[in-house]
């Protein structure tokens, strides 16, 4: 269970943790869809297409374990 961003980074590491945090921010906090996030992320070169898919799949797998408040992000 991830109650804080620190727990997420400690478990996933900085690189993967920050990418997952980006998806949390865009999807959970801002309410954007996967396709909207992917379009923006690829346009701004935050992800490569395969990296986005792999990271999204991991995010989708663990998002039910993310329980910190959106204003704490």
- Mean pLDDT (the chain, rounded): 88
Q: What percentage of the chain reaches a pLDDT higher than 70? A: 92
Listed by start position, the domains of the chain span: 14-66
Tokens describing residue 37: 């996030």
pLDDT higher than threshold 60 for residue 71? no
CA distances from 26 to 50, 59, 61 (A): 19, 12, 16
The answer to pTM > 0.85 is no
pLDDT single digits (tens) 4-34: 888 888 888 888 989 999 999 999 889 999 9
What torsion, rounded to 10 degrees, do the Cα atoms 40, 57, 71, 68 define? -170
């Amino acid at each position: 269970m991830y109650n804080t961003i620190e727990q997420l980074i400690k478990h996933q590491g900085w690189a993967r943790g920050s990418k997952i945090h980006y998806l949390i921010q865009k999807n959970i906090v801002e309410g954007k869809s996967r396709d909207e996030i992917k379009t923006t992320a690829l346009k701004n070169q935050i992800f490569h297409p395969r990296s986005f898919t792999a990271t999204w799949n991991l995010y989708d797998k663990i998002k039910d374990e993310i329980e910190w408040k959106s204003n704490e992000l």
